[in-house]
Each structure stands twice: as structure tokens, then as C-alpha cells.
């Protein structure tokens, strides 16, 4: 059962081949069998079994939706009513939200069965899942390697078939990079396509939730449920949601693919480069036209990001002060002591580093030089994307400069860690949608192909990804030991 | 006060907007609920929640902008003002910084009969914080977040005021305006209308401003005047004794009648303002403005001018009657319902009614004598059923109970007697009983006429129509 896609499972549930209860139980068993990956922070066994029974009843009544009875897991950044939501931090180790995030609510309504909450970098700050208070997640393709981050638990769980699909969030690559490193399909939607309500904020102008799944088709099914305007999120966009599965089988002859030369410079490992070229060749065979383009401001993306995201996070994380919820230090002697020790003891190193960077960037006398300048750079980068996407339909390139790196390899070198996000960060600054799909293996480790589209062109991206997955089987590979 | 010094004052007024729900959440804004019962997930700043702007607050701010003839910004931005305090749940206050919703405008005040225009720099929308409660917690502090997220309009004046008196006049005028517009209840005890005063002094004739001190959170007209005057004295004394005013925030202690330092400029927070990424810029188009404009009430100045023209009122009565919208409305309703001369109505409203209200410490909105009842009374004066003197007696009765003027007049038999036969017989009787006075009058002592009027009225218990009494007495005595 665990190798089937959502569409196949939905069919099986309807034909009576298996029940949601059986399906759910089998995934719960797999989770128990593979604790070494450390993907789950919380497994919600009892509620899952209850939800599965309810789903079976709904299936029997004939009013089930496509996701009814399908096991799913939520990144632990999405608030879940009555279930601990930690955001990967000691700060929220005791936090139980009194409400559901918009995304969680939508999956619950659709009848999806939540298996649990997935591990992640603390407050989504990290590219390796090593900053989690709950320990590093391991890459199912190589247990000595990182799964990527921040949605590392989500990517590893989907890759190891410890859930059918999972939610992720992407602020600078946090869906696409772990999807690439774990060999699964991940989509970061256009900023504003998916409600951020109940998704614990890291950098509000960049954060976006999205699907992480086995295939483009599964991602399309998930996005169908996640997407849409939410009056509780002022930055969500009030545009109709298309039927994402309808376009999947469209042929892509004549598709114009842009390859930015900045994506194929000396920073890219040669194995990676050749895998990307092979993938692009596959598209050429499908009738696509390849055009070299240039996006001269891409090189400014990392510095701009590391001003804007920390600036926003420095304010977003102020609410964790030990006063109303979350971690509070023992026996504070006064207010300052309460604040400094609660925050000092509750936050991890990377989170503190970013709060400090952001506080500095917003300080009197530095604001113009950092924050305002970074916003200008952000506009330039957006212009680059708009210009490029007026000439081509999609942009393709790598997701990461290398395959999954070793656990412990970069954690003490933040700059090197930041630089590894070169291919993903600019997309968040521009707000356009992008996908990572499995495109091959280098030394046995997965390599992702990135497909970047125009604003609200998720349907097109899913179509292009699906067409590739019809002629390749990279997305069907299962890591050894998890078959 | 020292006449070598000139005072410079600017006020920042915080007025709570009269919306039903909070500025960024659906929680109610009503005052006085049990602690933390009117604070939802958004007000508590729980992880994951997002603010959604209350359109009503925007409408009220725009209304205000129009009333002070300011430029209403077509594009304004909410910003985060960062600081840590236990009653500030998010660790930042959502406010407006670089691009406020209301730009430069003005308000005219009057002090000692002289009119003066006070510039208003800007007005911006922001959320209020909660309250820290220090009593009854045995060394701990309680936090009540009911007020957190209540919409405020912060109105910043230019440093145009030159005395505490002017500052009070400005604050009063502003208070009158926000209540006129219906954008705030202006309740100062509940903190719906409070101000910070920036005060500095400089030698007369000097162009540059002196160093200012900011007095925080003053919530009454009386305290504003006292706090500013105290601060002026303190600064002058300090400078004259060779000291220097430092830029700082001070607190006014109304019990001790003094200001004391809270924090200096060096200790001041760096608020690290930046645009709030959770909220879109506020776009105000012409259509929205037209909509607000059509709902704009007549403003105090315009109303006063109209009262002077339409009702032929003098400056004093017109000013008094337009000092609050409910009072002006009451006055106009009485005219409409009684059909009486506006002057009669004005005299009764500003005289007897306001006098009684002041004595009882009541506002016009709490008057025991409704406009219908007062109109009923004035109708009876106009049709000569009762005299003005009797009317005062009826009014006193009306103040005590709920009866109408007609009911009181009937029950007490106060109706004026215009029956000439009845009056004539009394006059004849009085003339017959007082031959000496008749002699005096006829020999040219006109003053005695009043004695006869008094005797007749006394005999008839004040109910005789005075016009008739005069006419008939004159006819008989002059015979």
C-alpha cells in the first residue's frame, strides 16, 4: 500500500481493496519500524485511527473527497488544535494551539488522516534540519547525510514512505531543497496562493506553504485542497483556483524553457550539471524549445534575503517572551531576567543568530543601508523574473549545488550553509512559484530539477512536471530499506 | 509666569475609535469586561495568527481627516513598532510610521476671544496595548489584554501652542470634534481620549526651539493645564538656575501635582519601525472618500454659523448650543416640535435646562426632561396658557417626575386666566380696598401702578394673564 500514489489509494479505498483504517494502521506501523530517521516529532496514533474510521464511514456514505482516508503528515510549523505544535523549538515544546491552521483545517475537512507532526529546522531556519531542538533528521538515501531543510522531516517521511504526502513551507527553499535532496516532488506556490493563517511565521513576506509528495499528480491533488483566498490572511490573493489536475496531461510541445546562465556557473558541481542537462534534454525530446537567458541580479539574492528574512523574523519571534505561552525560564527575578533567560534558553543558536542580524539591520542608522537597500534589490530580482518570464514559459535549473551533504558538515559554517541556497532563494524574493522534481542520482543520492513559473502558473508547472514523470521513473525510486 | 520666556507646546492626542470590533481582530471593544474575556487568538499574539484590518477604523480615520481639511493619503502603510512589554503581546505594536493615513490639516481654537489656527502634522491609525495590573497580585503583575488591539487614532499637532490655556483649548476643541464626528466616545475616565504634551521654553524672541520634555498619558483637561504649567515652571527655574533641560519623557503625578522623569533620550527605545509584511498598504480611492464625505455630519463651526443666521442667535448662545452635537440636536428638535420662536427655545435650553443639568452634573444625553416635554412646555408659553414665571414652576415639576407640561398645568390648576370678567371683578375689588394708593397714582405717582399689578396677581395666584391685567388696570385707574 505504501508505494501507491494518492490517486491509486483513492481508487483502492473505493473498490474496497483496503480500508482507510488498514491503510492508516500500515503507515503507523512503518513509522514505528523506522524511528532512526527522526522525521516525526509527534505521532498522533489515536486521533489518526479515529479519523480513519470516520473516513471509512464517509467513503461508505459515498460523499468522500479524493483525499478522504488518505494519510498525511503536517510539518510541525502548522498549528493543530489539541496537538503539540513545536516549530522544532524548545521554546514551543509545551505549546498546544487552541486552533487549526487554515491548511490543517482544509485537509481535515477533506477527510485526510493526519498521522502526526513532522520534524523541521527550528522556526524553519536552516537548510539541513540540524537546527531542530528534536535532533537532526536523517536522509533515507544515506543515513549519514542531511535530508535538507527546513522541511527535512516532511521530505524524509515522504521519501521513506512513512506518509503518503506531507505539507511543507518554503521561505528560501525549504520545500524544494529537501525535496531535491530526498528525491521527492515539492512545490512552492506563488506567494499568496496558500493561506499563511496558523503557519508560524518566520519571514512573513516570503513564507509560503505547499505540497510535498511522490509525484506531480499527488502535489496537484494536495494543492487543490490547500490553495485559495482566506479572509484571515490579508496577503492571500483572491483569485479563482483552477483545477490543477485538468491540465496535467496537456502536451508540452513548443514550451519555451529558459536556462539562466547564472545557474550554470562554476558553483555547480559537474555531476549535478550533467544530470540537469540530461533532464533538459528530455524536455527537448518532448518538444520544448531551450533558450539561454540571463538574470544579472540573481547574485544579489542571498545578501538581500539575509537582510529581509532576519529583519522580519526579529519582529515575528518577539512574541516568544515567556509571558503567555511557550518556554519560561525558572524563577525569574524580574522582567528583564524573564525575557533574557526565557529567550536565551528557549531559542537555539541559528534562531538567535538571525534575530540578532535582523535586529541590527533594522536599527536606527542602519535601516536605510540594509533594509531599504535589500528591498530595492528585491525589486530588481523580481524585475529579472518578470523580464525572463515574458520571454520564456518557464525557467529551469538545479535546486542545489550538490547532493545531500553530511550531517555535521556545514552546521558550524553558517555562511557556507547560506550559500547552498543560491538556486532557491531568489524565487521567494520574487514571489513566483517553483517546483523541485526528481531528475536522477549522483553517487546514489537524488538530484532535483527546478522548474520556475510565472505568478499563479502552478497548473502549468504541475503539467510540465507531470509530463516529465510520464517518461522518467526517478520519482518512483524508493530508498533501500524502505521498500 | 515669567514674561521673558515663551512656551512652545505640541500635543499628541490618542483617541479610541468607536468601532464595534478591534482594529485587527473580530474581538469586541466594549469597556469594562472581566479581564482577558475580550481577547481572541489574534489579540493574544498566539503563534501563527495574522492581523486583518477593520475597514470601519479606516472610515473613521478618513472622516477625521476630512473634518480637519487634511490630505487623506491615497496610500498608507502599517508598520511594526518593536519593543518588549508584557502587555504588548506580539512584542511590537502595529502602527503607522512613514506613511500615515491622514496628512497635514488644522483646527481653529479660540482663547480669550481671539481665534488661532493650530496646525495638525498628521494622524495615524494604530492598535492599543493591554493593561498591566500591579495591585492585588502579591509581587506579581497581572496582564489584561481586553484593550489590546483597540483602534486608536493618534493626532499629532504642530508645536503651535504658546500656553497651557491654548493647549487645553485645543484639546477641548479636538474632544468636541471627535465626538461630533461620532468617531470616538471621548470618554476620558475610560482612557478613550488622552494626550502626551511636548513642552519647551525659549527666551522671547529666540527662533530656535528649546529642548523639549514629553509628558506622557494625561487624561483630563484639568491635568493637562496643571501638568504643562508645572513643567513650564520647572524648565524656567532649571534654566535660570544655570541648569539645562534634557530631552526626556516625564510622567505627571496628579496627586503631588508634579512631573517626574521616566526615561531620558539615551534610554529611549530604538523602535526599529519597518512595514508590517502581514498587512497590505491601505489604498483609499476617490469613491471611498466620496462615500465617507456623504456621511460626514455638519461640523461645529459650520453649525454655529448656521445657527447664528437661521435662528438669529447671538455668538454666545450659538457657541454654547453647538458645543456638543447632542445638545445642538436637542435644541433643533425642540424648535421643530414646539413650533416656537427660536429665541425662546434657545433661552430655555441654555438657561433653565443647562442650568439644571450643570447643577445635577448631568450631560444633555442624560437629561430627565426630554425634548418632547420641553417642547410641550414652550408651546404653552407661546399660546399664553401660562406665564414665563409659572413655566419655571412647571419646569421644576417636570425635572422631578415624568409628567407632561399639560398634565402638570391641569393637575395644579396653573392655567393662566385671560377671562376679562374675572380679572375685572378682582381689579374693582383692589381699587375699592385701596383708595389711598388710587389717590397717589392719580396725582402722578406712576410707580404705584406696580403695586396694583402685584395685588391683582397675588389675589389671582399668579395665573392672570399679565397683558390683560395691565391693560384693564390702566383703563380703570386712568378713568
pLDDT one-digit tens code per residue, A263-276: 998 778 899 999 99
Cell numbers 525510486 correspond to what residue?
Answer: A477
- Beta-carbon separation of B84 and A319 below 8 A: no
Measuring CA to CA, how many Å separate B461 from each of A42, B227, B397, B409, B452? 93, 56, 18, 13, 14
Q: Are A292 and A264 in contact (CB under 8 A)?
A: no
User: With contacts defined as CB-CB under 8 Å, which chain A residues touch B44?
Assistant: 324
H or E segment and range at residue A257: strand A256-260
Sheet holding A434-442: strands in order across?
A: A40-43, A113-118, A71-75, A165-169, A209-213, A185-188, A434-442, A445-452, A394-398, A256-260, A289-293
SS3 state at B351:
helix
**Chain centroid, CA B313 distance in Å:** 21
Confidence (pLDDT) at B428: 87
Calpha distance A41→A32 (Å, rounded): 13
What fold characterizes domain A6-254+434-476? Amidase signature (AS) enzymes (3.90.1300)
Answer yes or no: A174 catalytic. Answer: yes
- Nine-digit cell string for A232: 484571515
- Nine-digit cell string for B212: 523639549
C-beta contacts of A188-191 below 8 A and 24+ residues apart? A188/A427, A188/A428, A188/A433, A188/A434, A188/A435, A189/A223, A189/A226, A189/A227, A189/A433, A189/A458, A190/A237, A190/A431, A190/A432, A190/A433, A190/A455, A190/A456, A190/A457, A190/A458, A191/A235, A191/A428, A191/A431
- Helix-then-strand count for chain B, H and E: 17, 15
Cis ω for the linkage preceding A150 (within 30 of 0): yes
- B217: buried, middle or exposed (CB in 10 Å: 19+, 13-18, 0-12)? middle
Closest-CA distance, B101 to chain A, in angstroms, reads 18
Confidence (pLDDT) at A174: 98
User: With contacts defined as CB-CB under 8 Å, which chain B residues touch A198?
Assistant: 48-49
The count of C-alpha atoms lying within 13 angstroms of the C-alpha of B347, restricted to the half-sphere facing its C-beta, is 10
Q: Which residues pair with B263 in a beta bridge?
A: B249
Cell numbers 488522516 correspond to what residue?
Answer: A113
Confidence (pLDDT) at B62: 98
User: With contacts defined as CB-CB under 8 Å, which chain A residues touch B50?
Assistant: 196-197, 232-235
Choose among A423, A402, A398, A208: nearest CA to A302. A423
Count of beta carbons in the 10 Å neighbourhood of residue B461: 11
Measuring CA to CA, how many Å separate A278 from each of A109, A286, A434? 41, 13, 20
Which of A197, A205, A319 is opposite residue B50, by nearest beta carbon? Answer: A197
Mean residue pLDDT across chain B: 91
Q: Report, as an integer, the average pLDDT of B308-325.
A: 91
pLDDT band at B460 (very low <50, low <70, confident <90, very high): confident
Which of B50, B86, B273 is opposite residue A234, by nearest beta carbon? Answer: B50
SS3 state at A343:
helix
Please determine, for residue B479, whether its predicted confidence score (pLDDT) is greater than 80: no
Calpha distance B303→B298 (Å, rounded): 6
User: With contacts defined as CB-CB under 8 Å, which chain B residues touch A79?
Assistant: 46-48
Q: In chain A, whose CA is at the least distance from the CA of B45?
A: A319
Please determine, for residue B1, whether its predicted confidence score (pLDDT) is greater than 70: no
Pairing verdict, β B114-127 and B151-157: antiparallel
Cα angle A52-A58-A59, degrees, rounded to a multiple of 5: 90
pLDDT tens, B40-94? 999 999 999 999 999 999 999 999 999 999 999 999 999 999 999 999 999 999 9
Q: Which of residues 324-343 of A touch B (CB under 8 A)?
A: 324-326, 335, 339
Calpha distance B31→B20 (Å, rounded): 11
Complete DSSP assignment for B441-452: HHTT-TTHHHHH
Q: Report, as an integer, the average pLDDT of A93-102.
A: 98
Measuring CA to CA, how many Å separate B350 from each of A183, B315, B383? 84, 13, 21
Which of B45, B86, B278 is opposite residue A204, by nearest beta carbon? Answer: B278
Calpha distance A98→B121 (Å, rounded): 43
User: With contacts defined as CB-CB under 8 Å, which chain A residues touch B90?
Assistant: 315, 318-319
pLDDT tens, A130-160? 999 999 999 999 999 999 999 999 999 999 9
Annotated domain spans of chain B: 5-290, 298-412, 420-477
What is the percent of chain A with per-residue pLDDT over 90, rounded to a whole number? 96
Confidence (pLDDT) at B385: 83
What does DSSP assign to residue A187?
Answer: E
Contacts of A189 (CB under 8 A, 6+ apart): A208, A209, A210, A223, A226, A227, A433, A458
Q: Which residues pair with B72 in a beta bridge?
A: B102
Closest-CA distance, B140 to chain A, in angstroms, reads 10
Pairing verdict, β A289-293 and A256-260: parallel
Calpha distance B369→B364 (Å, rounded): 9
- A29: buried, middle or exposed (CB in 10 Å: 19+, 13-18, 0-12)? exposed
pLDDT tens, A412-428? 888 888 888 999 999 99
Mean residue pLDDT across chain A: 97
Secondary-structure percent of chain A, ordered helix, strand, coil, rounded to 5: 45, 15, 40
Which of A235, A311, A318 is opposite residue B280, by nearest beta carbon? Answer: A235
Q: Does A368 touch chain B (CB under 8 A)?
A: no
pLDDT tens, B205-228? 999 999 999 999 898 999 999 999
Q: Does B356 touch chain A (CB under 8 A)?
A: no
User: With contacts defined as CB-CB under 8 Å, which chain B residues touch A196?
Assistant: 50
Choose among B388, B463, B374: nearest CA to B422. B463
Catalytic pick among A19, A128, A154, A174? A174
Q: Which of residues 75-94 of B touch A (CB under 8 A)?
A: 80, 82, 84, 86, 89-92
Between B259 and A32, the more confident residue is A32
Q: Are B129 and B147 in contact (CB under 8 A)?
A: yes
Contacts of B87 (CB under 8 A, 6+ apart): B129, B130, B131, B132, B143, B144, B145, B148
Torsion of CA A476, A478, A482, A483, to 10 degrees: 60
- Nine-digit cell string for A458: 502552478
- A251: buried, middle or exposed (CB in 10 Å: 19+, 13-18, 0-12)? exposed
Confidence (pLDDT) at B462: 77
Q: Which residues pair with B95 in a beta bridge?
A: B79
User: With contacts defined as CB-CB under 8 Å, which chain A residues touch B273?
Assistant: 362
Confidence (pLDDT) at B46: 97
Answer yes or no: A215 catalytic. Answer: no
The pTM for the full model equals 0.89
- The residue among A203, A318, A343 with the most chain B CBs within 10 A of its CB, best to mutate, is A318
Q: Which of residues 100-159 of B touch A (CB under 8 A)?
A: 143
Q: Does B46 touch chain A (CB under 8 A)?
A: yes
Q: Report, as an integer, the average pLDDT of A189-208.
A: 98
Q: Are B155 and B147 in contact (CB under 8 A)?
A: no
Please determine, for residue B424, whether its predicted confidence score (pLDDT) is greater than 90: no
Sheet holding B258-264: strands in order across?
A: B105-111, B114-127, B151-157, B5-16, B193-203, B213-218, B248-253, B258-264
Which of B90, B278, B279 is opposite residue A319, by nearest beta carbon? Answer: B90
Q: In chain B, whose CA is at the least distance from the CA of A311?
A: B274
Confidence (pLDDT) at B2: 60
What is the percent of chain B with per-residue pLDDT over 90, rounded to a whole number? 67
In CATH, what is the architecture of B420-477? Orthogonal Bundle (1.10)
pLDDT tens, B194-206? 999 999 999 999 9
Please state which of the ranges A63-67, A476-480, B262-266, B387-391 shows the lowest mean pLDDT. Answer: B262-266
SS3 state at B5:
strand
What is the ipTM score, two decimals?
Answer: 0.96
Calpha distance A71→A80 (Å, rounded): 16
Cell numbers 435646562 correspond to what residue?
Answer: B353
- Nine-digit cell string for A432: 513566483
Annotated domain spans of chain A: 6-254+434-476
Confidence (pLDDT) at A12: 97
- A243: buried, middle or exposed (CB in 10 Å: 19+, 13-18, 0-12)? exposed
Q: Are A313 and A123 in contact (CB under 8 A)?
A: yes
SS3 state at A119:
coil
Q: Are A169 and A207 in contact (CB under 8 A)?
A: yes
Measuring CA to CA, how many Å separate B43 from each of A201, A289, B24? 16, 53, 8
SS3 state at A93:
coil
Cα angle B78-A201-A237, degrees, rounded to a multiple of 5: 65
Between B335 and B363, the more confident residue is B335
Amino acid at each position: 500500500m505504501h508505494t501507491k500514489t494518492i490517486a491509486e489509494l483513492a481508487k483502492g479505498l473505493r473498490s474496497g481493496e483496503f480500508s482507510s483504517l488498514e491503510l492508516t494502521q500500515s503507515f503507523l506501523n512503518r513509522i514505528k519500524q523506522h524511528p532512526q530517521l527522526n522525521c516525526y516529532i509527534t505521532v498522533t496514533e489515536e486521533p489518526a485511527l479515529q479519523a480513519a474510521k470516520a473516513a471509512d464511514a464517509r467513503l461508505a456514505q459515498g460523499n468522500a473527497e479524493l483525499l478522504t482516508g488518505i494519510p498525511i503528515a503536517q510539518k510541525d510549523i502548522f498549528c493543530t488544535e489539541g496537538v503539540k505544535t513545536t516549530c522544532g523549538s524548545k521554546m514551543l515544546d509545551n505549546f498546544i494551539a487552541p486552533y487549526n491552521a487554515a491548511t490543517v483545517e482544509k485537509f481535515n475537512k477533506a477527510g485526510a488522516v493526519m498521522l502526526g507532526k513532522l520534524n523541521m529546522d527550528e522556526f524553519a531556519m536552516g537548510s539541513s534540519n540540524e537546527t531542530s531542538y528534536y535532533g537532526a533528521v536523517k536522509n533515507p538515501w544515506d543515513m549519514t547525510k542531511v535530508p535538507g531543510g527546513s522541511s527535512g522531516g516532511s521530505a524524509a517521511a515522504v521519501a521513506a514512505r512513512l506518509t503518503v504526502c506531507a505539507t511543507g513551507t518554503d521561505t528560501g527553499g525549504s520545500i524544494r531543497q529537501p525535496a531535491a535532496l530526498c528525491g521527492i516532488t515539492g512545490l512552492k506556490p506563488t506567494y499568496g496562493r496558500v493561506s499563511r493563517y496558523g503557519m508560524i511565521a518566520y519571514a512573513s513576506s516570503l513564507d509560503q506553504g505547499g505540497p510535498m509528495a511522490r509525484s506531480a499528480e499527488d502535489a496537484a491533488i494536495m494543492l487543490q485542497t490547500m490553495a485559495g483566498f482566506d479572509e484571515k490572511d490579508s496577503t492571500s490573493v483572491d483569485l479563482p483556483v483552477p483545477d490543477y489536475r485538468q491540465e496535467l496531461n496537456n502536451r508540452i510541445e513548443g514550451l519555451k524553457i529558459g536556462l539562466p546562465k547564472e545557474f550554470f556557473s562554476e558553483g555547480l558541481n559537474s555531476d549535478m550539471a550533467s544530470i540537469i542537462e540530461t533532464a533538459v534534454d528530455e524536455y527537448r525530446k518532448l518538444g520544448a524549445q531551450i533558450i539561454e537567458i540571463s538574470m544579472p541580479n540573481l547574485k544579489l539574492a542571498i545578501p538581500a534575503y539575509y537582510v529581509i528574512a532576519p529583519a522580519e523574523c526579529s519582529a515575528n519571534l518577539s512574541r516568544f517572551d515567556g509571558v503567555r505561552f511557550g518556554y519560561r525560564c525558572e524563577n525569574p527575578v524580574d522582567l528583564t531576567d524573564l525575557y533574557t533567560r526565557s529567550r536565551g534558553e528557549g531559542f537555539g543558536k541559528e534562531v538567535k543568530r538571525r534575530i540578532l542580524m535582523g535586529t541590527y539591520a533594522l536599527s536606527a542608522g542602519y535601516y536605510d543601508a540594509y533594509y531599504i537597500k535589500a528591498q530595492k534589490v528585491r525589486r530588481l530580482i523580481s524585475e529579472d523574473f518578470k523580464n525572463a518570464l515574458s520571454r520564456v514559459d518557464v525557467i529551469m535549473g538545479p535546486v542545489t549545488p550538490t547532493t545531500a551533504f553530511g550531517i555535521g558538515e556545514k552546521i558550524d559554517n553558517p555562511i557556507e550553509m547560506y550559500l547552498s541556497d543560491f538556486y532557491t532563494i531568489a524565487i521567494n524574493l520574487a514571489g513566483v512559484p517553483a517546483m523541485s522534481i526528481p531528475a536522477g542520482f549522483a553517487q546514489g543520492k537524488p538530484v532535483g530539477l527546478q522548474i520556475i513559473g510565472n505568478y499563479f502558473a502552478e497548473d502549468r508547472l504541475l503539467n510540465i512536471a507531470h509530463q516529465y514523470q510520464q517518461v522518467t521513473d526517478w520519482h518512483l525510486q524508493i530508498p533501500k530499506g524502505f521498500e | 509666569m515669567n514674561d521673558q520666556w515663551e512656551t512652545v507646546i505640541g500635543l499628541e492626542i490618542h483617541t479610541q475609535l468607536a468601532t464595534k470590533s478591534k482594529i485587527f481582530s473580530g474581538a469586541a471593544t466594549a469597556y469594562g469586561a472581566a479581564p482577558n474575556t475580550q481577547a481572541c487568538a489574534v489579540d493574544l499574539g498566539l503563534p501563527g495568527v495574522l492581523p486583518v484590518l477593520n475597514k470601519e477604523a479606516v472610515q473613521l480615520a478618513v472622516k477625521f481627516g476630512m473634518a480637519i481639511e487634511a490630505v487623506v493619503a491615497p496610500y498608507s502603510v502599517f508598520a511594526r513598532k518593536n519593543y518588549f512589554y508584557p502587555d504588548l503581546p506580539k512584542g511590537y505594536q502595529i502602527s503607522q510610521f512613514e506613511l500615515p493615513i491622514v496628512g497635514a490639516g488644522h483646527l481653529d481654537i479660540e482663547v480669550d476671544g481671539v481665534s488661532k489656527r493650530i496646525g495638525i502634522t498628521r494622524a495615524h491609525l494604530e492598535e492599543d496595548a493591554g493593561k498591566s495590573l500591579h495591585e492585588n497580585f502579591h509581587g506579581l503583575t497581572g496582564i489584561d489584554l481586553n484593550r489590546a488591539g483597540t483602534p486608536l487614532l493618534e493626532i499629532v499637532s504642530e508645536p503651535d501652542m504658546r500656553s497651557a490655556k491654548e493647549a487645553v483649548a485645543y484639546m477641548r476643541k479636538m474632544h468636541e470634534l471627535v465626538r461630533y464626528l461620532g468617531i470616538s466616545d471621548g470618554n476620558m475616565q475610560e482612557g478613550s481620549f488622552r494626550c502626551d504634551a511636548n513642552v519647551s521654553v525659549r527666551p522671547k524672541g529666540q527662533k530656535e526651539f528649546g529642548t523639549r520634555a514629553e509628558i506622557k498619558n494625561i487624561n483630563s483637561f484639568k491635568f493637562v493645564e496643571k501638568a504643562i504649567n508645572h513643567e513650564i515652571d520647572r524648565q524656567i527655574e532649571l534654566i535660570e538656575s544655570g541648569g539645562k533641560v534634557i530631552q526626556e519623557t516625564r510622567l505627571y503625578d496628579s496627586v503631588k501635582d508634579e512631573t517626574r522623569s521616566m526615561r531620558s533620550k539615551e534610554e529611549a527605545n530604538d523602535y526599529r519601525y519597518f512595514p508590517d509584511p502581514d498587512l497590505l498598504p491601505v489604498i483609499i480611492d476617490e469613491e471611498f472618500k466620496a462615500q465617507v464625505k456623504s456621511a460626514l455630519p455638519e461640523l461645529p463651526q459650520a453649525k454655529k454659523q448656521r445657527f447664528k443666521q437661521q435662528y438669529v442667535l447671538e455668538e454666545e448662545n450659538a457657541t454654547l448650543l453647538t458645543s456638543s452635537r447632542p445638545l445642538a440636536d436637542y435644541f433643533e428638535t425642540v424648535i421643530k416640535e414646539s413650533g416656537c420662536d427660536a429665541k425662546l427655545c434657545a433661552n430655555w435650553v441654555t438657561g433653565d435646562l443647562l442650568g439644571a443639568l450643570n447643577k445635577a452634573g448631568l450631560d444633555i444625553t442624560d437629561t430627565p426632561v426630554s425634548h418632547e416635554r420641553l417642547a410641550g412646555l414652550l408651546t404653552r408659553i407661546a399660546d399664553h396658557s401660562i406665564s414665563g414665571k409659572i413655566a419655571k414652576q412647571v419646569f421644576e415639576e417636570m425635572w422631578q417626575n415624568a409628567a407632561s407640561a399639560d398634565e402638570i398645568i391641569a393637575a395644579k390648576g396653573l392655567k393662566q386666566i385671560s377671562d376679562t370678567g374675572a380679572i375685572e371683578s378682582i381689579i374693582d375689588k383692589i381699587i375699592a380696598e385701596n383708595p389711598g394708593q388710587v389717590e397717589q397714582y392719580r396725582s402722578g405717582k406712576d410707580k404705584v401702578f406696580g403695586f396694583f399689578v402685584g395685588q391683582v396677581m397675588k389675589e389671582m395666584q399668579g395665573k392672570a394673564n399679565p397683558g390683560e391685567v395691565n391693560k384693564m388696570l390702566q383703563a380703570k385707574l386712568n378713568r
